[in-house]
Structure 1
Amino acid sequence: MRENIHPDYNEVQVTCGCGNKFVTGSVKKELRVDVCSKCHPFYTGQQRAISVGGRIEKFNKRYSK
């Protein structure tokens, strides 16, 4: 492998739009994200199950014969 071609990998602070902050590794100096695990609907349990239920019912209705 060639030496001195890889970027510096540092610990950086990630800032979410909701205000949550955590530390991770990256080649960038600072990261800003819109959604994190504290505010994402999948992780908070506030996801819309209505649309999913409609798709499952539609699938079962179509292929239940």
Structure 2
Amino acid sequence: MKQGIHPEYHPVVFLDSATGFKFLSGSTKGSSETTEWEDGNTYPLIRVEISSDSHPFYTGKQKFTQADGRVDRFNKKYGLKDANAAK
């Protein structure tokens, strides 16, 4: 790799604003806010709106759409019948 063109990675604490969940990870992003981590060291704090702790996919609260296609749902909703359907 070329020297001097890549950003420096450093430990950062990410805070999920929705749940209060914190995790320590490497990042190139900096912050003027700091927090003390479980190991007693102080790290920059970056607030995020969503993380694996609050994302519906990871929490199991994801809403699944119907298996039908859009046209079928429209036809069901407005009572239209498929002219090509077998009788």
Q: Would the TM-score normalized by the shorter structure come out above 0.5?
A: yes
> Cα 1:5–1:46, aligned 2, differ >3 Å: closer, same or farther?
same
Partner of 2:22: 21
Residue in structure 1 matching 2:50, options 32, 35, 48:
35
Bigger shift: residues 27-36 or 2-11: 2-11
How high is the sequence identity, in percent, across the aligned residues? 37
Aligned partners of 2:49 and 2:11: how far apart in 1?
Answer: 20
Q: Secondary structure at the match of 2:23?
A: strand
Q: Distance in 2 between the 1:43 and 1:28 partners?
A: 25
Q: Which one has a bigger Cα radius of gyration?
A: 2
- TM-score normalized by the length of structure 2: 0.54
Q: Does 1:58 align with 2:73?
A: no
User: Which blocks of at least 5 consecutive residues in structure 1 are unaligned?
Assistant: none
Aligned residues: 60
- In the aligned structure 2, how far is the partner of 1:44 from the partner of 1:21? 16
Unaligned runs of 5+ in 2: 31-44, 73-81
Query: RMSD over aligned Cα, in angstroms?
Result: 2.6
Q: Higher helix proportion, which one?
A: 1
Large movers: runs of 4+ above 3 Å? none
Change (3 A) 1:57 1:23: same
